[in-house]
Amino acid sequence: MINYKFSKKNDKLFYEELTSKVNAYFFDNGLTTYANFYVIFKIIIIYTLYLLFYLLIIFGSLQLKIFCFIWILLGLIHVAVGFNIMHDALHGSLFKNKRINNIVGSIASFLIGQYPQIWEVQHNNLHHIYPNIETIDGDIDKPPFRFSPNQKLLWYHKYQHIYATFLYLFTNISIITDKDFVQLSKFRKMNLIKSNHVYLFTLIKIILFKVFYLLAYLWLPYKATGYHFGLILSMFILMNLISGIVFTIIIMPNHITHNSKYSNQKNRDIKNNWFVHQLLNTTNYSINNKLFNFFTGSINLHIEHHLFPNICHIHYSKIAPIIKLTCKRYSMPYYYEKTWFIAIKKHYQMLYYLGNPQVELEQPDICME
């Protein structure tokens, strides 16, 4: 059971004006909030490339160097699948039809090895409502890290800015092995699972999901190529190490940064309302970088995503100026960094600060000009 409560402080004028202006943008331009032709074309391209690389691994009879290189490319395509397809589909923002979203999202989830229903509960129901709130937001409850000043400080946290990069490599390895099982157990403890029957049924489905995933990526390439199983396993691990580090260094600057204003909950009461809490704990970066927007599904425009998670990512760059100006009008925070390099640097600075809280942390600018 989740007992945290947001403040009832009323910023009604702010969020009414914000939602009204965003809705007006779509109405005035004759647009829906879902994917347009460009996004659908991008999805086709990403899925086609993924299928091509996979079939080359299985049936390509490739030289060893090319064979290994294809696995590396598949790791990068993993990231594009996750950000552009799985993420939006499981948010229900790709298509108006819920069934199509579920089908597209489930396919994308399988390619990554992430059980979709677990992701939906953790990401949509917990992270998006309670970002940066320990014990609820699984994105910050990740030992051996201290991602929140409200978490217990241990001696090794002073070195987390050093060991972070190495452990970030294993993000996807965790996803395909233990993460879904850990989250399922956590949901049970939080009373988010209705009965033991539901728990056991879900557990069996996750096990079968993982078995089929490993058959597709380990057993089938081994049988089809004739390469030693050790090589196949090594390439599989390399693929996931690449996708793991790329995924993590893209997403971490959105929440774990010097901009973040963690709520010090007393009696499980959060001092800000939901809208303000999102703004205080979310950061944009590389707003005008079209290549970054293309590859990451505009995940770098994270404020827009957290305020309007049911809007497809293709629209974020258009509604960003609306949100920025409305925040400025009401003196609300709108955190951003000009480039990813600055954002990731400040993420590591935040890691250092959280492990060494005696140091002084640079104060962020509230709103971009």
The per-residue pLDDT of the chain, averaged, comes to 93
Q: What is the per-residue pLDDT for 6?
A: 81
Residue 321 has pLDDT above 80, yes or no: yes
Residue 337 has pLDDT above 50, yes or no: yes
Residue 102 has pLDDT above 70, yes or no: yes
Cβ count near 61 (within 10 Å): 10
pLDDT tens readout for residues 191-222: 999 899 999 999 999 999 999 999 999 999 99
Sign of CA dihedral 22, 28, 29, 32: positive
Of 5-14, 25-34, 132-141, highest mean pLDDT: 25-34
| β strands within the chain, DSSP E | 5-6, 269-270, 283-285, 335-337
Is 361 part of any domain?
no
Residue 17 has pLDDT above 90, yes or no: yes
Is 295 part of any domain?
yes
Give the residue from 298, 302, 285, 3 showing the smallest Cα distance to 130.
3
* Sequence-separated (6 or more) residues with CB below 8 Å from residue 163: 144
Provide the number of structural domains found in the chain.
1
pLDDT tens readout for residues 104-140: 999 999 999 999 999 999 999 999 999 999 889 999 9
Q: What is the per-residue pLDDT for 1?
A: 64
Q: Work out the average pLDDT over 344-353.
A: 96
Query: pTM here?
Result: 0.93
What is the phi/psi pair of residue 136, to 5°?
A: -110, -55
Q: Is 328 exposed, middle or buried (0-12, 13-18, 19+ CB in 10 A)?
A: middle
Q: Work out the average pLDDT over 238-242.
A: 98
Rg (CA), the chain: 21
Q: Is 290 helix (H, G, I), strand (E, B) or coil?
A: helix
**Residue recorded with tokens 């209705």:** 194
CA–CA gap between residue 39 and residue 107 (Å, rounded):
17
Per the CB < 8 A criterion, the answer to whether 342 and 285 are in contact is yes
Residue 154 has pLDDT above 50, yes or no: yes
CA–CA gap between residue 316 and residue 120 (Å, rounded):
21
What is the phi/psi pair of residue 287, to 5°?
A: -60, -40
Q: Is 327 helix (H, G, I), strand (E, B) or coil?
A: helix
Is 360 part of any domain?
no
Q: What is the per-residue pLDDT for 369?
A: 40
Q: Is 39 helix (H, G, I), strand (E, B) or coil?
A: helix
Per the CB < 8 A criterion, the answer to whether 157 and 358 are in contact is no
| Eight-class DSSP state of 313 | G
**Residue recorded with tokens 């969020």:** 15
More confident residue, 12 or 18: 18
CA–CA gap between residue 40 and residue 51 (Å, rounded):
16
CA–CA gap between residue 60 and residue 145 (Å, rounded):
42
Q: What share of the chain is helix, strand, coil (3-state, %, to 5)?
A: 65, 5, 30
Per the CB < 8 A criterion, the answer to whether 283 and 365 are in contact is no
pLDDT tens readout for residues 44-101: 999 999 999 999 999 878 899 999 999 999 999 999 999 999 999 999 999 999 999 9
Q: What is the per-residue pLDDT for 5?
A: 80
Give the residue from 139, 91, 87 showing the smallest Cα distance to 296.
87
Q: What is the per-residue pLDDT for 191?
A: 92
Sign of CA dihedral 272, 131, 147, 303: negative
Q: How far apart are the first and last CA of the chain?
A: 42
Residue 346 has pLDDT above 90, yes or no: yes
Is 63 part of any domain?
yes
Residue 23 has pLDDT above 70, yes or no: yes
Q: Work out the average pLDDT over 214-239.
A: 96
Q: CA-based diameter of the chain, in Å?
A: 65
More confident residue, 363 or 64: 64
Q: What is the per-residue pLDDT for 368?
A: 45
Q: What is the per-residue pLDDT for 267?
A: 60
Residue 8 has pLDDT above 80, yes or no: no
Is 18 part of any domain?
yes
Is 141 part of any domain?
yes
Per the CB < 8 A criterion, the answer to whether 213 and 176 are in contact is yes
CA–CA gap between residue 212 and residue 218 (Å, rounded):
10
Q: What is the per-residue pLDDT for 11?
A: 77
pLDDT tens readout for residues 272-304: 889 999 999 999 999 999 999 999 999 999 999
Range of the domain at 302: 5-355
- DSSP per-residue codes, 116-177: HHHHIIIIIIIITTSTT-TTT-TTT--TT---STTSPP-GGGGGHHHHHHHHHTTHHHHIII
Is 363 part of any domain?
no
Is 368 part of any domain?
no
More confident residue, 272 or 181: 181
